[in-house]
Amino acid sequence: MGGQACVLYGAAEFSRDLDLALLPDPANLEQLDGALRALDATPIGVPPLSLAHLQAGLAVHFRCRREEVLGLRIDIMTHMRGVAPFVDLWARRTTFTFSDDTIDVMALPDLVAAKKTQRDKDWPMIRRLVDANYLNHRHEPTPERVHFWLRELRTPELLIEAVNAHREAADAIGLDRGLLRGRAGDLTVDGLARALHEEEMAERQRDAAYWKPRREQLERLRQDAAHRP
For the chain, percent of residues with pLDDT exceeding 70: 98
3-state secondary structure 190-205: HHHHHHHHHHHHHHHH
- Quick one: average pLDDT of 40-54? 93
If asked whether residues 133 and 66 sit together in one domain, one would say: no
Q: Contact 202/181 with Cβ under 8 angstroms?
A: no
Query: How many other C-beta atoms are found inside a 10 Å radius of the C-beta of residue 82?
Result: 15
- Quick one: average pLDDT of 98-113? 95
pLDDT in the model for residue 57 = 94
pLDDT-based confidence at residue 15 (cuts at 50, 70, 90) = confident
pLDDT in the model for residue 188 = 87
Task: Find, among 189, 156, 154, 186, the residue nearest to 171 by Cα.
Answer: 186
- Quick one: average pLDDT of 195-218? 96
Q: What is the pLDDT of residues 213-224, one digit of tens each?
A: 999 999 999 998
Q: Is the pTM of this model over 0.75?
A: yes
Task: Give the Cα separation of 143 and 225 in Å (integer).
Answer: 51
Q: Which residues pair with 97 in a beta bridge?
A: 102
pLDDT in the model for residue 185 = 58
Task: Give the Cα separation of 216 and 86 in Å (integer).
Answer: 25
Q: What is the pLDDT of residues 154-186, one digit of tens each?
A: 999 999 999 999 999 998 998 889 888 765 557
- 113 domain residue, yes or no: no
- 114 domain residue, yes or no: no
- 182 domain residue, yes or no: yes
DSSP 140: S
If asked whether residues 126 and 194 sit together in one domain, one would say: yes
- 34 domain residue, yes or no: yes
pLDDT higher than threshold 60 for residue 12: yes
Q: Contact 159/192 with Cβ under 8 angstroms?
A: yes
If asked whether residues 101 and 140 sit together in one domain, one would say: no
If asked whether residues 88 and 150 sit together in one domain, one would say: no
- 117 domain residue, yes or no: no
| More confident call, 13 vs 43 | 43
pLDDT in the model for residue 186 = 74
If asked whether residues 167 and 137 sit together in one domain, one would say: yes
Task: Give the Cα separation of 134 and 141 in Å (integer).
Answer: 9
- 216 domain residue, yes or no: no
If asked whether residues 96 and 135 sit together in one domain, one would say: no
Q: How high is the mean pLDDT of the chain?
A: 93
Task: Give the Cα separation of 11 and 4 in Å (integer).
Answer: 10
pLDDT in the model for residue 220 = 93
Task: Give the Cα separation of 132 and 185 in Å (integer).
Answer: 24
CA distance readout (Å), 171 to 81, 158, 180, 186:
27, 17, 7, 12
If asked whether residues 82 and 11 sit together in one domain, one would say: yes
Q: Contact 134/149 with Cβ under 8 angstroms?
A: yes
Beta strand 94-97 with 73-77 is unpaired
pLDDT higher than threshold 90 for residue 228: no
Domain count of the chain? 2
If asked whether residues 79 and 168 sit together in one domain, one would say: no
pLDDT higher than threshold 70 for residue 153: yes
If asked whether residues 9 and 91 sit together in one domain, one would say: yes
Task: Give the Cα separation of 2 and 20 in Å (integer).
Answer: 7
If asked whether residues 10 and 103 sit together in one domain, one would say: yes
pLDDT in the model for residue 180 = 87
- 164 domain residue, yes or no: yes
| More confident call, 182 vs 107 | 107
Whole domain around residue 186: which residue ranges? 122-209
- 192 domain residue, yes or no: yes
pLDDT higher than threshold 60 for residue 202: yes
If asked whether residues 8 and 103 sit together in one domain, one would say: yes
